[in-house]
C-alpha cells in the first residue's frame, strides 16, 4: 500500500479538462516529482489530494485514507504548501507558526527538531511580519508551517517558482533531509533540471501523465541518437536541419539546437546537405529529461 | 473549543495589527453621532417670505409682523407689486410669496374677504410644503387673535396640542436611533465580509482549509469579533447620545442590547454569506452597497414605513433593520418593554439564525 494511490482521477472546470484519467502511486518515504509545464494540471491534482476539491470521477487515497470519505483524517496527516505564499502577511513569523501549530493542537516545541534545520534560518527574523520577508524566507516559513504537525505526506506545489538559484538548491537539500525522516513528498515543478533530485518523476502535460520512471530510467528510455548542433545563424540552421534527410526532429535547446535522428542518418551527408553554413558544429550529445519530454509531447 | 479560541485570538491580533481598523471602530461612531444629528434634520428653518401687501391695513401689517416674528420664517421682501416678488422667487431669494388682497381688512369685518394667495417654490418639496404650512398657521393665528380681541371667548385656547414621547418634536431624537443602526450596518456589515474575502485574496483561506478546522468554527471565528465590536460601538453611540444630546432611553437598556445582539448577528451573517459568494473585495463591496442602500432607504430609518406605497410596505417585512429600528425607537422614546415588542425580537432571532446558517453552509469547504 503506497502513501499516495491515485486511480483514474478526472476533474474538469467547465469545458477545460484539467485532469484526464490520471493514475499513479507513490511509495512511502519516496520523493516523487510531478514535472510539467504550466497548465499541466499539477495544481488541480494537489487540490484534489489535499481534499480542497472533489474529483469528477476516480478516487485517490492518501496515507491509507480515501480523499472523499476520510477527508478529515487526511487533513491532520498531510502538509500542504500551495504555490502562492498563503500565510498571514500581517502576522509575524512566530505568530504564523504558533497559529498553525495551535490549529493542529501541537506546539512549536513538539516538532522543533523536525523543522529546526529550516526554521533556524528564519528564526532571527521571528518578530518580522511574514509579508515583509524575502521570497526565499517566505518559502522556508511556509515549509515550516506545513511541517509543524509532523505530517506523513507533504505536498509542495511549485516550491521553487520565483525563488533564486541558491534558495532553490537549498530547498531541495531540505527535501532530501525530510525524506530521511520518512516523510513521503510529492513535489511539482516546471523545471526539468530539478527532476534529477527526485526518486521518481511523472512527466505530465495537458491533464495526462505521459511517463513515470526514475530520472535515469526516463533518460534511458530515449532510444534515438541525439546531436547538438550550432552555427552563426541559428535560425537558418534550424530551418535547414528540419528538412534534412534522416532527421526526425530539431528544436532549440539552450544555446544549441538538438537534433533527433533516425537510423539511416549520416553525419557527413547531413553536413553536405546543409550546404555552406558559417561556423557549423555538430556533436553527439546525451539526452536529458527535457528531450524525453519533448519527444513524448509530440507523440 | 480550543481551536475556536486560537482562531479568535488570531482575529483580534489581526484587527489590532491593522493600522486603520481600531481607529475606525472608535472614531467612526463618535464622529457620526456628533455630526450627523446636526445635519440630518427635517426641521425647516429660514424660509424666506415676501409679502405683497395690496391692502396696506393694520391687519395686513399684523400678518407681516407675525411672519417676521416666527423663528422659522424670515420676512425678506415687503412690496405692493406681485411681479417684483415673483422675480425674487425666480432668483431663489424668496421661498414663499404671500399676497394679501386689497380691502382684505374691510371685507373681513363685514363679509367673506377675497382669498389670501400663497405661492411657494416647491423645487425643494419639503421646504416649500412645510414653509407653506407655517405661513397658513401664522395667518390663522393672526386672524384668531383679531377675532379674539373682538369677542369674549378666546378662540386660541380652544385647541391644545401635545406631542407625546418627543414633546419638543425634536427631529434629532427621531434620527439618533436610525444613526445607530446605520453604524451597525456599516461596521458589522462590511468588516466581517472584508475579513473573509481578504483571506481569499491573500490565499490564507486555502491554508486554513487543509487544517481540521470545521467550517462552523471558522465562520463563528469571523462572526464573534464583530459582534463584540458592534456592542462596543453601540455603547459609544449611546454615551454620545446621552452626553451631547441628552437623549437616554426611557425603556430598559437591556432591551436595546438584546436587540443589538440579534441585529448584529443578522447583519454579520448576511455579510458573510455575500463574502462566500465573492472572489474579490470589489465584488463584496458593490454587492453589499446594493443591499445596504435598500436597508437604509426602505427600512423606515429615514422615512416612515407607513407613508410608503402598499407594495413597498409589504416588502419591508423581509428587511431586518425594520424590526430593530422599531425596537430602538420605541424603547428609546416611549419606554416600550420587551414583552410588548416580542414579535420584533422573534423576527430578528429568525433572521439571525437563517443568515448564519446560510453563511456556514455556503462556505466552500467539505464539512
Question: What's the confidence (pLDDT) of residue A91?
Answer: 93
Q: Could you give the count of Cα atoms lying within 13 Å of B22 in the half-sphere of its Cβ?
A: 9
Where b means 16+ CB within 10 Å and e means fewer, B291-308 reads bbeebbebbbbeeebeeb
- CA distance linking residue B185 with residue B192, whole number of Å: 11
Residues 6+ apart with CB under 8 A from B21: B15, B191
Which CATH code of 3.40.109.10, 3.40.50.1820, 3.10.20.30, 3.30.70.100 fits the domain covering A222-298?
3.30.70.100
pLDDT of residue A212 exceeding 70 = yes
Q: CB A91 to CB B10 under 8 A?
A: yes
Superfamily of domain A4-219, CATH level 4: P-loop containing nucleotide triphosphate hydrolases (3.40.50.300)
Q: CB A51 to CB B17 under 8 A?
A: no
Question: What's the confidence (pLDDT) of residue B159?
Answer: 57
Nearest-Cα distance to chain A for B10, in Å, is 7
What are the residue boundaries of the structural domains of chain B, listed by start? 14-40+167-362, 47-157
- Each residue of A225-251: pLDDT tens digit? 899 998 888 888 888 888 888 888 899
- CA distance linking residue B357 with residue B272, whole number of Å: 10
Residue of A nearest to B15 (CA): A90
- CA distance linking residue B262 with residue B259, whole number of Å: 5
Question: What's the confidence (pLDDT) of residue A274?
Answer: 82
* Residue to test with chain A: of B210, B214, B215, most A Cβ within 10 A: B210
Bigger pLDDT: A297 or B321? B321
Question: What's the confidence (pLDDT) of residue B128?
Answer: 81
Q: CB A75 to CB B211 under 8 A?
A: yes
Nearest-Cα distance to chain B for A277, in Å, is 54
Q: CB B202 to CB A50 under 8 A?
A: no
Q: CB B210 to CB A75 under 8 A?
A: yes
Give contacts of A87 with chain B, Cβ < 8 Å. Answer: 204, 207
Any B CB within 8 A of A104 CB: yes
Nearest by CB to B204, from A78, A87, A104: name it.
A87
Nearest by CB to B366, from A51, A82, A103: name it.
A51
pLDDT of residue A4 exceeding 60 = yes
Question: What's the confidence (pLDDT) of residue B152?
Answer: 58
Question: What's the confidence (pLDDT) of residue B69?
Answer: 86
CATH code reported for the domain at B47-157: 3.40.1710.10
Q: CB A50 to CB B6 under 8 A?
A: no
Residue of B nearest to A46 (CA): B210
Q: What are the DSSP E strand ranges found in chain A? A: 4-13, 16-26, 31-35, 57-62, 65-66, 78-81, 153-157, 184-189, 200-205, 208-213, 225-230, 247-253, 256-261, 281-284
Q: What is the ipTM of this complex?
A: 0.81
Q: Could you give the count of Cα atoms lying within 13 Å of B234 in the half-sphere of its Cβ?
A: 25
Nearest-Cα distance to chain B for A152, in Å, is 14
Q: CB A90 to CB B211 under 8 A?
A: no
Question: What's the confidence (pLDDT) of residue A245?
Answer: 84
Question: What's the confidence (pLDDT) of residue B322?
Answer: 93
Calculate mean pLDDT across residues A127-146: 91
Taking an 8 Å Cβ-Cβ cutoff, which residues of chain B contact chain A?
2-3, 6-7, 10, 13-14, 17-18, 202-204, 206-213, 365-367
Give contacts of B14 with chain A, Cβ < 8 Å. Answer: 88, 90-91
Question: What's the confidence (pLDDT) of residue B303?
Answer: 84
Any B CB within 8 A of A65 CB: no
Confidence of residue A27 (pLDDT cuts 50, 70, 90): very high
Any B CB within 8 A of A102 CB: yes
Question: What's the confidence (pLDDT) of residue B367?
Answer: 39
pTM attached to this predicted model: 0.81
Any B CB within 8 A of A124 CB: no
- Each residue of A94-135: pLDDT tens digit? 999 999 999 998 999 988 988 988 899 899 999 999 999 988
Q: CB A71 to CB B204 under 8 A?
A: no
Question: What's the confidence (pLDDT) of residue B259?
Answer: 95
pLDDT in tens, chain B (367 residues): 888 999 999 999 999 998 889 999 999 999 999 998 888 776 677 888 999 988 888 888 888 888 888 888 888 888 888 898 888 888 888 888 988 888 888 887 777 777 888 888 888 887 888 888 888 888 888 887 877 776 655 555 555 666 677 666 677 888 899 999 999 999 999 999 999 999 999 889 888 988 888 888 998 999 999 999 999 999 999 999 999 988 889 999 999 999 999 999 999 999 999 999 998 999 999 999 999 999 999 998 888 888 889 999 999 999 999 999 999 999 998 888 889 999 999 999 999 999 999 988 888 765 3
Q: CB B207 to CB A85 under 8 A?
A: no
Give contacts of B194 with chain A, Cβ < 8 Å. Answer: none
Any B CB within 8 A of A84 CB: yes
Give contacts of B213 with chain A, Cβ < 8 Å. Answer: 103
Amino acid at each position: 500500500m503506497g502513501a499516495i494511490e491515485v486511480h483514474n482521477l478526472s476533474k474538469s472546470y467547465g469545458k477545460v479538462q484539467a485532469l484526464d484519467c490520471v493514475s499513479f502511486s507513490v511509495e512511502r518515504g519516496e520523493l516523487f516529482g510531478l514535472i510539467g509545464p504550466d497548465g499541466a494540471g499539477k495544481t488541480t491534482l494537489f487540490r484534489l489530494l489535499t481534499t480542497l476539491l472533489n474529483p469528477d470521477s476516480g478516487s485517490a487515497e492518501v496515507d491509507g485514507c480515501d480523499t472523499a470519505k476520510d477527508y478529515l483524517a487526511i487533513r491532520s496527516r498531510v502538509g500542504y504548501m500551495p504555490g502562492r505564499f498563503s500565510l498571514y502577511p500581517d502576522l509575524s513569523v512566530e505568530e504564523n507558526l504558533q497559529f498553525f501549530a495551535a490549529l493542529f493542537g501541537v506546539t512549536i516545541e513538539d516538532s522543533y527538531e523536525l523543522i529546526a534545520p529550516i526554521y533556524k534560518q528564519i528564526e532571527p527574523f521571528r518578530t518580522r511580519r511574514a509579508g515583509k520577508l524575502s521570497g526565499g524566507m517566505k518559502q522556508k516559513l511556509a515549509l515550516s508551517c506545513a511541517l509543524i504537525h509532523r505530517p506523513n505526506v507533504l505536498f509542495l506545489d511549485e516550491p521553487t517558482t520565483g525563488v533564486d538559484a541558491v534558495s532553490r538548491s537549498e530547498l531541495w537539500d531540505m527535501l532530501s533531509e525530510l525524506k530521511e525522516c520518512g516523510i513521503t513528498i510529492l513535489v511539482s515543478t516546471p523545471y526539468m533540471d530539478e527532476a534529477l533530485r527526485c526518486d521518481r518523476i511523472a512527466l505530465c502535460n495537458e491533464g495526462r501523465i505521459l511517463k513515470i520512471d526514475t530520472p535515469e530510467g526516463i533518460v534511458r528510455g530515449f532510444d534515438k541518437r541525439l546531436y547538438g548542433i550550432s552555427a552563426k545563424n541559428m535560425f537558418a540552421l534550424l530551418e535547414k536541419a528540419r528538412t534534412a534527410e534522416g532527421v526526425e526532429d530539431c528544436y532549440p535547446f539552450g544555446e544549441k539546437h538538438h537534433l533527433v535522428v533516425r537510423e539511416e542518418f549520416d553525419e557527413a551527408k547531413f553536413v553536405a546537405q546543409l550546404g555552406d553554413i558559417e561556423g557549423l558544429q555538430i556533436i553527439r550529445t546525451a539526452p536529458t529529461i527535457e528531450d524525453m519530454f519533448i519527444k513524448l509531447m509530440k507523440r | 473549543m480550543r481551536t475556536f479560541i486560537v482562531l479568535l485570538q488570531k482575529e483580534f491580533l489581526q484587527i489590532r495589527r491593522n493600522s486603520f481598523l481600531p481607529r475606525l471602530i472608535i472614531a467612526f461612531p463618535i464622529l457620526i453621532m456628533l455630526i450627523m444629528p446636526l445635519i440630518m434634520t427635517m426641521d425647516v428653518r429660514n424660509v424666506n417670505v415676501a409679502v405683497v401687501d395690496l391692502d396696506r391695513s393694520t391687519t395686513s401689517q399684523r400678518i407681516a409682523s407675525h411672519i417676521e416674528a416666527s423663528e422659522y420664517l424670515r420676512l425678506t421682501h415687503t412690496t405692493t407689486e406681485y411681479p417684483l416678488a415673483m422675480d425674487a422667487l425666480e432668483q431663489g431669494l424668496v421661498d414663499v410669496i404671500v399676497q394679501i388682497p386689497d380691502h382684505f381688512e374691510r371685507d373681513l369685518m363685514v363679509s367673506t374677504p377675497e382669498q389670501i394667495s400663497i405661492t411657494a417654490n416647491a423645487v425643494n418639496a419639503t421646504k416649500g410644503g412645510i414653509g407653506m404650512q407655517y405661513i397658513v398657521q401664522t395667518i390663522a393665528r393672526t386672524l384668531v387673535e383679531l377675532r379674539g380681541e373682538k369677542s369674549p371667548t378666546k378662540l386660541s385656547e380652544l385647541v391644545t396640542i401635545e406631542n407625546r414621547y418627543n414633546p419638543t418634536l425634536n427631529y434629532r431624537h427621531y434620527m439618533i436611533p436610525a444613526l445607530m443602526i446605520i453604524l451597525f450596518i456599516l461596521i458589522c456589515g462590511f468588516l466581517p465580509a472584508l475579513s473573509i474575502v481578504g483571506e481569499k485574496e491573500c490565499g490564507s483561506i486555502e491554508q486554513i482549509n487543509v487544517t481540521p478546522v470545521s467550517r462552523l468554527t471558522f465562520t463563528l471565528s469571523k462572526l464573534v469579533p464583530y459582534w463584540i465590536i458592534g456592542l462596543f460601538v453601540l455603547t459609544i453611540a449611546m454615551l454620545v447620545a446621552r452626553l451631547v444630546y441628552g437623549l437616554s432611553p426611557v425603556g430598559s437598556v437591556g432591551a436595546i442590547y438584546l436587540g443589538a445582539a440579534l441585529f448584529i448577528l443578522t447583519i454579520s451573517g448576511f455579510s458573510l454569506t455575500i463574502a462566500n459568494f465573492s472572489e474579490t473585495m470589489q465584488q463584496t463591496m458593490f454587492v453589499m452597497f446594493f443591499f445596504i442602500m435598500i436597508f437604509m432607504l426602505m427600512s423606515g430609518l429615514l422615512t416612515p414605513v407607513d407613508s410608503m406605497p402598499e407594495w413597498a410596505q409589504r416588502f419591508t417585512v423581509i428587511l431586518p433593520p425594520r424590526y430593530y429600528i422599531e425596537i430602538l425607537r420605541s424603547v428609546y422614546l416611549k419606554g416600550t418593554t420587551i414583552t410588548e415588542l416580542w414579535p420584533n425580537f422573534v423576527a430578528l432571532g429568525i433572521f439571525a439564525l437563517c443568515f448564519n446558517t446560510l453563511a456556514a453552509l455556503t462556505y466552500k469547504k467539505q464539512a
